[in-house]
Structure 1
Amino acid sequence: MNRLTECLGIQHPIIQGGMGNISNARLAAAVSEAGALGTIGTGTMDVEEVGGIVRDLKMLTNRPFAMNIPITMTPDLKGMIEIAITEEVPVVSLSAGNPAPLIPVLHDHGIKVICVVASRKQARKAADAGADVLVAEGYEAAGINSHLETTTLALIPQLVDEVAVPVVAAGGIADGRGLAAMLALGASGVQMGTRFIATKEAPFHERYKETLLAANDHGTLIVGRSVGRVRRVLRSPYAEKVLDLEKQGMTLEQYAELTSEDNHRKGALEGKLDEGFINGGQVAGLIADVPTVKEVVDGMMTDASTVLRALSDTMKVE
C-alpha cells in the first residue's frame, strides 16, 4: 500500500484512463475487480446515458471506481456533477478545464478528486485548489493531449518535486517495467488506457484490437497540431485522411467535426476505419496479446516487483 492506494481505497497503484464516449461498465468493472481503479469517461455523452453506465457498473462491482469529466467538453457539467453525487461515485477525475470551482463541491459529498495536468503550473494550481491526486499526462498518451507536448519521462519528476499530493504517471506505460520506472521517478502509480483496449473484457471492435496489436514503434500519429488541438491516434485510413486534410489547411471547426466523438465511435465500436478514428498511445508497439484485465494488472505488479528487486540488487555496494 502507498499514498495513492490508501487515498483511493484500491489494492494496486493502477488507474484506467477515461475513454470518453466509448466508456463502458464491463471494462471499468473488470479493472476495479482486479484491484485497480476502473473509470467511466463521460466524454460528450448525455447525463442519462452516463447515469445508466454508472448504475450498471455498480451492479458489477462494489469496489472503488471513478468518473472522468472533461470540464470544457461536457454539455451539462452541472448535471454530470449531480450524477456523481447522487450515485455516490467514490472518485471523480477532472480534466480539460479549470477544476478549482468543482473540487470543494465534490469534497463536500465525500468524493475524492483526481485532476489531470500536463505542466508544473497546472499541477500547482490543482494541488492548491485541493486535488487529492494528480494524473500527469505526457505527450506519449493516447487521445487528446496537451499542446505543450512534454514527455512523461520529463514531466513526472518535475511534478513530484512541485507538489506534495500523490502524482500518477500517464502516457507510455503498458507493463511492469513502465510501472517500476514511474515509481522510480517518484510517481505513486500509473494510469493506462491503450493497454486496457487490448483485453478480453474490452467490448471494442476486433479491428480496433487488431490494429493495436499490429502497431509498431511508429504506429501512431498526431492530428490537430495546426489548430492547437493535439490528439494521438493509431494509424488508419481515416487518420491518414485527417492528417492529409490538415496539411492542406483547415479551421478548428472543421477539425472538431472530423474528430468528433461520433467519429470515435465509428472507429472503436463499429470498426469502420475508413470513417472513424481509434485512439492509441505510443506504447502500442509494446502490446502483442489480448489477456484478461486481471492478467494485465497482476502481471504488471509481479513484473514491477521483479524489476525493482533486480535494480536493488544491482545497486548494492559490496
Structure 2
Amino acid sequence: MSQLPELKIGKHQPLYPVIQGGMGVAISGPNLAGHVARCGGVGTIASVGLACNSPHYNGRNYFEANQLAVKEGIQEARKIAGPKGVIAVNCMVALTDYDRHVKSACEGGVDVIISGAGLPLRLPEYAKEYPDVALVPIVSTVKAASLISRRWEKTYGRLPDGFVVETPKYAGGHLGVTKMDQVDDDEFSLEKVVPELVEFVEKEMGKDVPVIAAGGIWDRKDMERAFGLGAKGVQMGTRFACTFEGDASERFKQAYIDAREEDVVIIQSPAGLPGRALRSPFIDQYLKGHVESKPCIANCLTHCRYKTERETFCIAQALIDAYRGNWEEGLFFCGSNVTKVEKMEHVEDIMKELFPE
C-alpha cells in the first residue's frame, strides 16, 4: 500500500483523502453526507432541489423552502457526523438563486463549499462573512482554474482552497464540458489535467492547495492512480449513491444495481450541457425525439431550454421523480462506474475497503 496523502482543505482536514460527490436532486442528502463524514471522508450535501422533500415547501415558496432545507440538512448531517466530521455543500453556479444556496450553507455552519456547473467567479462575495468556510471550485481545465484564481485574487483578495478536477469521460450527471465531442476528448482526462493543474497550483499558490481528482474513481487502485498523478484527494459519487445510508429511494438504488453498459447514455440536458444518465423509459423517449414534460417547477436554472423554448423537459421534475423511484418518468444521473454496482453497501464497509490501514 502506498502512503496516503493528507487532504487539507482550508482549515478542514478529514481523516481520509476522499470526498463523497454532491448528487442532486437529494441523492446525496444529509443522511449520506453525515455517514461519510462520520467514517472519515468529506460528506457532501447537494443543495439543488432540497425544497421538494421539505415540510416547508407548499408548492409556491420553492426558493425560501430550499434555503431552510439546506440549513436543516447541514444540522442533520452534523448530528450523524459528530464534532470531527467534515461537511460540504455542493452549490451549482447554474442556479438562478446560486447566491442564496451559498449563503444558506454558510449560515448553516458548513465547512466546505464545492461549486461547479459554471465558473464560480463570485463565490467569495457570497461567502465573505464566513472566512473559515473553504471554497473549492470544480474545473475541467487549467485555463478555468487560472481564470477563477486570478479573478478571486484581484477582486476579493483570496484564492481557492482547493480544486476538484472532474473528467467528463467517466463522471456522472452534468459533465463540466459544453459540447458532446468533448466528453471523450483526452484533453479533459485526469491523466492530462491533474499533473498540469498540480504544477500550476504549486507555482501560483503553493503546495497547500490540494487538487482533487473526480470521475471514474471506484476502488483503492483508482485512488492510488490519481495520487500518482499528484492529486491530494479523490471525489467519488456513484459508489456512495447505492448505499444503505444513501438518501435516494430503494427503486433508485435498484436501477443502479440493474444497470448494464448499454443502459448508460450521454444526453444533452435542458441546461445545455452533456450529462451521463441511465436509459430510463423517459430518457429513451427523449433520445428518440419526443418527450412530454411536467410543468416547470421553479425557474431554477439561469439557462434552461425548457423554460425558454419549451424544448427538452423540466430537469428538476425528472430528477425528483428519479429520487423518489419513478423509473418510468425519472432522470437517473450516474457515473460510468454504475455498471460495477452489484449490491447495496454500507458506507462504513466502503471506507474500510478503501482504507484497510
1:81 alignment partner in structure 2: 102
**Partner residue of 1:48 out of 68, 76, 90:** 68
- Work out the CA distance in 2 between the residues paired with 1:221 and 1:10: 34
2:154 is the alignment partner of 1:116: no
Describe the shift of the 1:103–1:5 C-alpha distance in structure 2 as closer, same or farther (beyond 3 A): same
The structural deviation recorded for 1:111 is 0.8
User: What secondary structure does 1:20 align onto?
Assistant: coil
**Partner residue of 1:31 out of 25, 33, 36:** 36
1:238 alignment partner in structure 2: 282
* TM-score where L is the length of structure 1: 0.85
The C-alpha deviation readout for 1:130-187, integer Å capped at 9, x for no partner, is: 1111001111111011224233343323322332331111111111111111111111
Written as runs of structure 1 = structure 2, the 5 A alignment for 1:259-274 is 260-269=315-324, 271-274=325-328
- Work out the CA distance in 1 between the residues paired with 2:272 and 2:121: 24
Describe the shift of the 1:262–1:180 C-alpha distance in structure 2 as closer, same or farther (beyond 3 A): same
Structure 2: any 5+ residue segments left out of the alignment? 51-65, 153-158, 203-208, 292-303
User: What secondary structure does 1:202 align onto?
Assistant: coil
1:151 alignment partner in structure 2: 189
* TM-score where L is the length of structure 2: 0.76
Written as runs of structure 1 = structure 2, the 5 A alignment for 1:296-307 is 296-302=350-356
The C-alpha deviation readout for 1:87-114, integer Å capped at 9, x for no partner, is: 2211111212332322265365211111
Q: Is the 8 A contact 1:4 1:133 kept in 2?
A: no
2:93 is the alignment partner of 1:71: yes
2:338 alignment partner in structure 1: 284
1:166 alignment partner in structure 2: 210
Describe the shift of the 1:44–1:14 C-alpha distance in structure 2 as closer, same or farther (beyond 3 A): same
Identical positions, percent: 26
The structural deviation recorded for 1:208 is 2.0
The C-alpha deviation readout for 1:217-259, integer Å capped at 9, x for no partner, is: 4441100079841111022222212211179xxx932687525
1:314 alignment partner in structure 2: none
**Partner residue of 1:252 out of 305, 328, 342:** 305
Query: Larger helix proportion, structure 1 or 2?
Result: 1
- Work out the CA distance in 2 between the residues paired with 1:207 and 1:123: 38
2:7 is the alignment partner of 1:4: yes
User: What secondary structure does 1:163 align onto?
Assistant: helix
- Work out the CA distance in 1 between the residues paired with 2:115 and 2:236: 16
Instruction: Tell me how large the CA RMSD over aligned residues is.
Output: 2.5
Q: Is the 8 A contact 2:72 2:108 kept in 1?
A: no
The C-alpha deviation readout for 1:169-211, integer Å capped at 9, x for no partner, is: 1111111111111111111111111101111111322222222
- Work out the CA distance in 1 between the residues paired with 2:250 and 2:311: 26
One-letter amino acid of the counterpart of residue 196, structure 2:
Q
- Work out the CA distance in 1 between the residues paired with 2:285 and 2:15: 43
Q: Is the 8 A contact 1:196 1:202 kept in 2?
A: yes
Aligned pairs, number: 298
**Which segment is superposed worse, 199-208 or 130-139?**
199-208
Q: Is the 8 A contact 1:31 1:38 kept in 2?
A: yes
Q: Is the 8 A contact 2:112 2:133 kept in 1?
A: yes
Describe the shift of the 1:70–1:32 C-alpha distance in structure 2 as closer, same or farther (beyond 3 A): same
User: What secondary structure does 1:186 align onto?
Assistant: coil
User: What secondary structure does 1:258 align onto?
Assistant: coil
**Which segment is superposed worse, 215-224 or 279-288?**
215-224
**Partner residue of 1:59 out of 79, 90, 104:** 79
Structure 1: any 5+ residue segments left out of the alignment? 306-318
Describe the shift of the 1:152–1:241 C-alpha distance in structure 2 as closer, same or farther (beyond 3 A): farther
Describe the shift of the 1:217–1:44 C-alpha distance in structure 2 as closer, same or farther (beyond 3 A): same
- Work out the CA distance in 1 between the residues paired with 2:263 and 2:195: 27
Describe the shift of the 1:204–1:84 C-alpha distance in structure 2 as closer, same or farther (beyond 3 A): closer
**Which segment is superposed worse, 183-192 or 216-225?**
216-225
- Work out the CA distance in 2 between the residues paired with 1:256 and 1:178: 39
2:55 alignment partner in structure 1: none
The structural deviation recorded for 1:59 is 2.2
User: What secondary structure does 1:94 align onto?
Assistant: strand
2:265 alignment partner in structure 1: 221
Q: Is the 8 A contact 1:39 1:67 kept in 2?
A: yes
**Partner residue of 2:162 out of 125, 130, 133:** 133
- Work out the CA distance in 1 between the residues paired with 2:78 and 2:311: 33
